[in-house]
């Protein structure tokens, strides 16, 4: 004991003097230092483990959404590690929205997103749900899309009386019928048929109302389509040029015209630009869905408006009037409109002429309705053509007058078309007695006896249409000047 105590005392003295230790002391020195270092390191590691929050057990509550790792897979449930003091279980009823392929693809060790349904059941396990986790994730994603005003796509799963039902990763949304462009107006039967046809189709949608607590999600297909069309319209307007002809589809009809979709943008075809003929309402010649060719009249980039024309893609009827019709020709016509001064009649699509009130009947007419009605088909004679002003003068009372004097119609008298019963242009002395016999018939067939009546009608129509009355009076005056043989015939008329 004394020797051991002396050795320890000598070692302490040597350490104090800085002398090198012996072999025994060298071996023992590290042994004396090791416990001190070893005791400090475990203590520091323990403190780190205790202070690391990731190693704490989670305090779970209903509604928590967290990631878990599949530890075990049974026939009707999954065992999942969620970092709690006990594993969580996912019953089969809580992953019912998964398809069979999705269920089979969940393997041990795979990460899954779960929703805490019950923090702890009677067996001490946490009850989890994949369905509710997907739903909660969808709600959060939908809220982000709503905040960013984004367009989403969803498949129509069903419908009810008010609209369509869609599924967005576990969240059921509702699209009112009024917010679907392909659902036409009308009775309930037609709406139900349109909605049934849309089941299974994918629609672009925008969220217009979202309320997680009330489980309420309202969407609109019309707004999504309109937003997409606005973007397409801006691009189209940049490239669209006046004078172009494009194909389009009638998208809607209004009283003042029709809207035509020309590839992402709607242009307006005004009522006056639908047809060369008179159109009272666009529905007379167009219906929604019709494919038409349209002519670009104007483009307004500032107001994003496009003016179109359908009739300008077709030949203008007035361009061939001069070659197709001639004065004195009798043609079929349809009365289209009545006015105080006369009746308008259509002789073909895009070409209408005026039957002046003085040309309706040999009798005095106070209003055209006394003789004709709108929609009535009649035979009329052309008495004037003015292609430059796009006007045609028609006569109803002269339509059946086969002995009409060409001079009254503005035609040259070539002799071959001389009215029946009239005297020859250049009678010889020998032939005078022979031609004198039919002279009494002249007042019946010749228009000369109509001169007082025409003048009276023209005078009465002067208040309504002075220009037309003057034209008729001038034509008759010219006829009387060019045919001097008519005047001698008026002398024997009283004798007959």
DSSP 350-366: TEEEEEEGGGS-SS--S
pLDDT (tens digit per residue) in 456-475: 343 333 333 444 445 445 54
Pair (389, 475) in one structural domain: yes
| Any domain includes 196 | yes
Burial class (CB in 10 A: 0-12, 13-18, 19+), 56: exposed
Pair (218, 247) in one structural domain: no
When pLDDT is cut at 50, 70 and 90, the band that residue 393 belongs to is: very high
Pair (279, 408) in one structural domain: no
| Any domain includes 142 | no
| Any domain includes 257 | yes
pLDDT surpasses 70 at 316: yes
Choose the final residue of a domain: 134, 163, 186: 134
| Any domain includes 280 | yes
Task: Classify residue 262 by its DSSP letter.
Answer: S
Tally of domains in the chain: 4
- Side-chain half-sphere of 141: how many Cα atoms within 13 Å? 12
CATH of the domain at 270: 2.40.50.140
| Any domain includes 4 | no
Position 297 scores a pLDDT of 92
Position 118 scores a pLDDT of 87
* CA atoms 420, 423, 426, 431: torsion sign: positive
Pair (294, 391) in one structural domain: no
Position 51 scores a pLDDT of 63
Print the domain residue range for 326: 318-430+438-490
Pair (274, 403) in one structural domain: no
What is d(CA 261, CA 184) in angstroms, rounded to the nearest whole number?
Answer: 17
Pair (305, 445) in one structural domain: no
pLDDT surpasses 90 at 96: no
In which residue are the tokens 């509702």 written? 174
Pick the closest to residue 221 from 208, 236, 235 (CA basis): 208
Choose the final residue of a domain: 90, 106, 134: 134
| Any domain includes 73 | yes
pLDDT (tens digit per residue) in 142-190: 999 899 989 999 999 999 988 999 988 778 899 999 999 888 777 788 8
Pair (377, 265) in one structural domain: no
Choose the final residue of a domain: 110, 134, 158: 134
Beta bridge partners of 156: 166
Pair (73, 169) in one structural domain: no
| Any domain includes 309 | yes
Mean pLDDT of 231-238: 84
Pair (214, 259) in one structural domain: no
| Any domain includes 26 | no
Phi, psi dihedrals of residue 248, rounded to the nearest 5° = -150, 175
Pair (172, 251) in one structural domain: no
Judge contact between 278 and 337, C-beta under 8 A.
yes
Mean pLDDT of 191-203: 90
Pick the closest to residue 320 from 355, 354, 348, 279 (CA basis): 348
Pair (205, 330) in one structural domain: no
Tell me if residue 346 falls in helix, strand or coil: strand
């Amino acid at each position: 004991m004394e020797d051991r105590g002396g050795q320890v005392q000598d070692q302490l003295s040597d350490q104090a003097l800085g002398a090198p230790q012996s072999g025994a002391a060298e071996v023992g020195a590290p042994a004396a230092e090791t416990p001190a270092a070893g005791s400090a390191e475990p203590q520091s590691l323990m403190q780190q483990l205790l202070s690391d929050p990731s190693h704490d057990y989670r305090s779970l509550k209903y509604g928590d959404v967290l990631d878990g790792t599949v530890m075990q897979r049974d026939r009707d449930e999954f065992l999942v590690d969620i970092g709690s003091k006990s594993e969580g279980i996912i019953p089969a009823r809580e992953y019912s929205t998964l398809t069979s392929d999705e269920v089979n693809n969940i393997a041990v060790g795979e990460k899954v997103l779960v929703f805490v349904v019950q923090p702890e059941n009677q067996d001490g396990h946490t009850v989890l749900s994949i369905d509710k986790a997907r739903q909660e994730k969808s709600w959060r994603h939908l809220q982000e899309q709503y905040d960013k005003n984004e367009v989403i796509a969803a498949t129509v799963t069903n419908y009810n009386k008010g609209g369509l039902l869609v599924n967005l990763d576990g969240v059921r949304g509702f699209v009112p019928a009024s917010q679907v462009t392909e659902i036409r107006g009308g009775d309930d039967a037609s709406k139900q048929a349109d909605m049934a046809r849309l089941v299974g189709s994918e629609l672009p949608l925008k969220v217009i109302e979202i309320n997680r607590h009330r489980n309420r999600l309202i969407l609109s297909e019309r707004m999504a389509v309109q937003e997409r069309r606005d973007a397409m319209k801006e691009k189209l307007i940049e490239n669209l040029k006046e004078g172009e002809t494009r194909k389009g589809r009638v998208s809607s009809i209004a009283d003042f015209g029709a809207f035509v979709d020309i590839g992402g943008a709607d242009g307006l075809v005004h009522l006056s630009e639908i047809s060369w003929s008179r159109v009272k309402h666009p529905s007379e010649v167009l219906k929604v869905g019709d494919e038409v060719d349209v002519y670009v009249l104007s483009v307004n980039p500032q107001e994003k408006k496009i003016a179109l024309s359908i009739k300008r893609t077709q030949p203008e009827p007035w361009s061939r009037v001069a070659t197709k019709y001639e004065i004195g020709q009798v043609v079929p016509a349809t009365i289209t409109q009545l006015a105080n001064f006369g009746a308008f009649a259509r002789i073909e699509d895009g070409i209408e002429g005026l039957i002046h009130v003085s040309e309706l009947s040999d009798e005095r007419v106070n209003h055209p309705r006394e003789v004709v009605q709108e929609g009535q088909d009649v035979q009329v004679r052309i008495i004037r053509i003015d292609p430059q002003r796009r006007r045609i003068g028609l006569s109803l009372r002269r339509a059946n007058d086969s002995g009409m004097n060409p001079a009254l119609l503005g035609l040259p008298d070539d002799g071959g078309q001389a009215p029946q019963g009239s005297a020859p242009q250049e009678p010889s002395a020998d032939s005078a007695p022979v031609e004198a016999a039919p002279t009494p018939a002249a007042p019946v067939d010749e228009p000369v006896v109509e001169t007082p009546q025409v003048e009276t009608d023209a005078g009465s129509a002067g208040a309504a249409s002075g220009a037309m009355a003057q034209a008729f009076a001038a034509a008759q005056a010219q006829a009387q000047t060019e045919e001097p043989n008519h005047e001698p015939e008026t002398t024997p008329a009283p004798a007959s």
